[in-house]
């Protein structure tokens, strides 16, 4: 591009731009002596053909930095474009930017591609530093930090936002630099709703009571012709989620209860166990368990009381379903046909839970799958690499949905709402849109704790489309009923309609007479369940 230079030196500036289009780093820049930054020929964010790049690509345990000092006679700003190509988390390779030694950001490639950054500064002399740090593992030569279009100026810069995010508390935030913004949102093809005069780079949307997918648009009022858009998902169902979790280094799994609304509150409801893979089916956890550390794996099941949040003892259903020479990548239940599906190495296999005597071979996958999830309609999804695919359960053929930009394992559907969730980096939970693979961060399991490693994730639910697994029944009569029916037993009774919506909850002592409108209902008493029709 063409640089407009209104200042030479570091004093008395209006605006100074460095775009490195002449192939050199100008005088005044303090370059790293050991791993100096260089100008490379590359297409950057605004169409220029050159940028500067850190000098320690592929060098383990190294740091490469470059800095510039600028004197401001009045308050001003710095803007620049940057692209980080390091490992995914800041705990590994890190691209960092400092003003006077204070970090303004530090991240790996979690922010993909070129982005524009801007910061206001006070009057005075300031030192700006760009730094790339390599750890001691995974050192491809392509790892680097790239910077372009560095602008120093007076007054307030106008940078249109380019990305929109949302945290687990419902705070929608965006990048950019402006005095004020306009936020618009709509559900599906509905009408836009606008919020104007926002002076921060964020807005708390919890009071809007949003559920499902919404399109958001943010405009900088100083540059309304370049809006940023994003589709964000607001979780609809929060209750009765469970996970098997390694809660400290070296510990075996424990069974934990939690909900999506408050991931900082997690409750261990079992002692240590050796569960390898697990799913929830009609009141039972079905699990693959290491057989006394022999390297052979058994398929077992244990009852779960979702009201008291307890799990019973595991009993073996099939001994030695595989040996340690076979890796069970993933396991999921298909409520549409009552079968349990396994991915063993590259092979897709299924098991009829009504008569669990042997596997049916479904086909061979064309790549390594990290996780498997199946919704109520029997549609299966797998995470291969960092991409989401649909999976044909009849022949193991896969079809690309889109790029997740994350490795999610495990994944699990909320079978009431159809929402798909996955776990990234051991404890970070994301919502996944199964139509386009777009992800939305929900939160960290256990809050900010580093002691959790989720190995299995699933939601309990009151009933399945197919009730293949034997369960204890509630004594309900008459059935069908003419307006009212009687429930016998003792304990907590919860009645839901066929949509899974709760219509009644009460304690029962010996028996209770219930009156409900015409319809079909699910009656659960403790961990027993029955369907009843009211005519």
Which of 215-219, 332-336, 495-499 has the weakest average pLDDT? 495-499
pLDDT in tens, 273-291: 778 888 888 778 888 887 6
Other beta carbons less than 10 A from residue 259's beta carbon = 15
Give the model's pLDDT for residue 251.
61
Dig out the tokens for 253 from the structure: 């799994």
Decide the pairing of beta strands 339-344 and 347-352. antiparallel
pLDDT in tens, 17-53: 999 999 999 999 999 999 999 999 876 455 678 999 9
Kindly tell me if the per-residue pLDDT of 70 is higher than 90.
Answer: yes
Give the model's pLDDT for residue 195.
96
For the chain, report the end-to-end CA distance as a whole number of angstroms.
75
Please give the order of strands across the beta sheet that includes 241-246. 267-268, 253-258, 241-246, 453-459
Which range scores top for mean pLDDT: 5-19, 44-58, 80-94, 412-426? 412-426
Half-sphere exposure in the Cβ direction for 288 (13 Å, CA): 24
Q: What's the CATH fold of domain 15-154?
A: Jelly Rolls (2.60.120)
Give the model's pLDDT for residue 168.
57
Give the model's pLDDT for residue 463.
41
Dig out the tokens for 403 from the structure: 């790029």
In 285-349, where does DSSP find H-type helix?
none
pTM recorded for the entire structure:
0.57
**DSSP class of residue 186?**
E
Kindly tell me if the per-residue pLDDT of 348 is higher than 60.
Answer: yes
Q: Which residues pair with 528 in a beta bridge?
A: 525
Give the model's pLDDT for residue 341.
95
Q: Round to whole Å and give the CA distance between 128 and 102.
A: 9
Where in 135-282 does DSSP place strands (E)?
145-154, 164-166, 171-174, 181-187, 193-198, 202-204, 212-220, 223-234, 241-246, 253-258, 267-268, 275-281
- Backbone region of residue 370 per phi and psi (left: phi > 0; alpha: psi in -120 to 50; beta: other values): alpha
Q: What's the CATH fold of domain 164-234?
A: Immunoglobulin-like (2.60.40)
Q: Round to whole Å and give the CA distance between 374 and 466.
A: 14
- Tokens 């993933």 locate to 330
Which DSSP string corresponds to 384-405? ETTEEEEE-TTT--EEEEEE-S
Q: Do domains 164-234 and 475-534 have the same CATH topology?
A: yes
Give the model's pLDDT for residue 221.
93
Q: Please report, for the chain, the start and end positions of each structural domain, with discontinuous segments joined by +.
A: 15-154, 164-234, 241-459, 475-534
Q: Are 117 and 80 in contact (CB under 8 A)?
A: yes
138 vs 66: which has the higher pLDDT: 66
Q: Round to whole Å and give the CA distance between 509 and 212.
A: 39
Please, what CATH class does the domain formed by 241-459 belong to? mainly beta
pLDDT band at 137 (very low <50, low <70, confident <90, very high): low
Mean pLDDT, rounded, for 72-91: 79
Q: What percent of the chain has pLDDT over 70?
A: 84
Q: Round to whole Å and give the CA distance between 388 and 213.
A: 19
Q: Round to whole Å and give the CA distance between 256 and 422.
A: 16
Q: Cα–Cα–Cα angle for 74, 80, 82, nearest 5°?
A: 155
Dihedral of the alpha carbons of 146, 151, 157, 161, in degrees to the nearest 10: -20
**DSSP class of residue 291?**
S
Q: Are 346 and 368 in contact (CB under 8 A)?
A: yes
Average pLDDT, the chain: 82
Q: Round to whole Å and give the CA distance between 9 and 373.
A: 60
Mean pLDDT, rounded, for 196-208: 89
Measured over all CA atoms, what is the biggest interatomic distance in the chain, rounded to whole angstroms? 91
CATH 2.60.40 assigned to domain 475-534? The reply is yes
CA-to-CA separations, 327 to 251, 277, 300, 371, in angstroms, rounded? 21, 11, 17, 12
């Amino acid at each position: 591009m063409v640089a407009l230079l209104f200042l030479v030196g570091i004093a008395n500036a209006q605006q100074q731009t460095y775009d490195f289009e002449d192939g050199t780093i100008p005088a005044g820049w303090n370059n790293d002596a050991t791993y100096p930054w260089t100008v490379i020929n590359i297409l950057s964010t605004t169409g220029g053909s050159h940028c500067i790049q850190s000098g320690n690509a592929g060098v383990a345990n190294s740091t490469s930095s470059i800095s510039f000092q600028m004197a401001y006679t009045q308050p001003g700003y710095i803007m620049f474009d940057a692209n980080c190509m390091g490992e995914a988390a800041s705990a590994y390779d890190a691209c960092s930017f400092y003003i006077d030694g204070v970090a303004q950001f530090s991240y790996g490639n979690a922010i993909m591609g070129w982005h524009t950054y801007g910061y206001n500064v006070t009057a005075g002399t300031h030192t700006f530093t760009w730094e790339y740090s390599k750890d001691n593992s995974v050192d491809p030569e392509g790892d680097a930090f790239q910077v372009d279009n560095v602008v120093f100026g007076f007054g307030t810069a106008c940078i249109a936002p380019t990305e929109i995010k949302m945290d687990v508390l419902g705070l929608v935030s965006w990048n950019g630099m402006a005095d004020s913004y306009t936020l618009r949102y709509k559900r599906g093809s509905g009408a836009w709703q606008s919020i104007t005069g926002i002076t921060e780079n964020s807005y708390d949307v919890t009071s809007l009571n949003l559920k499902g997918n919404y399109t958001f648009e943010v405009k900088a009022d100083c540059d309304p012709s370049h809006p940023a858009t994003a589709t964000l998902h607001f979780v609809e169902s929060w209750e009765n989620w469970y996970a098997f979790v390694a809660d400290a280094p070296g510990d075996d799994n424990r069974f934990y209860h939690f909900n999506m609304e408050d991931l900082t509150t997690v409750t261990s409801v079992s002692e240590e166990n050796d569960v390898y893979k697990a799913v929830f089916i009609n009141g039972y956890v079905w699990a693959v368990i290491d057989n006394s550390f022999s390297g052979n794996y058994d398929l077992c099941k244990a009852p779960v009381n979702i009201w008291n949040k307890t799990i019973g003892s595991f009993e073996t259903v099939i001994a030695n379903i595989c040996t340690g020479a076979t890796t069970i990548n993933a396991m999921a239940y298909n409520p549409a046909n009552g079968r349990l599906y396994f991915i063993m190495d590259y092979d897709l296999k299924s098991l009829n839970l009504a008569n669990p005597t042997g596997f049916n071979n479904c086909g061979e996958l064309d790549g390594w799958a990290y996780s498997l999830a199946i919704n109520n309609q029997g549609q299966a999804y797998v995470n291969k690499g960092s991409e989401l695919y649909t999976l044909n359960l009849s022949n193991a053929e896969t079809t690309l949905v889109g790029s997740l930009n994350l490795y999610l394992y495990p994944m699990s559907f909320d079978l009431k709402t159809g929402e798909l969730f996955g776990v990234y980096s051991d404890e970070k939970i994301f919502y996944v849109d199964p139509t386009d693979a777009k992800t939305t961060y929900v939160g960290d399991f256990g809050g900010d704790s580093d002691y959790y490693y989720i190995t299995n994730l699933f939601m309990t639910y009151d009933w399945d489309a197919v009730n293949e697994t034997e369960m204890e029944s509630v004594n309900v009569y008459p059935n069908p009923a003419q307006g009212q029916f009687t429930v016998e037993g003792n304990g907590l009774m919860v009645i839901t309609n066929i949509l899974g919506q709760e219509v009644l909850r009460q304690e029962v002592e010996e028996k209770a007479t219930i009156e409900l409108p015409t319809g079909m209902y699910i009656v659960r008493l403790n961990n027993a369940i029955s369907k009843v029709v009211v005519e």
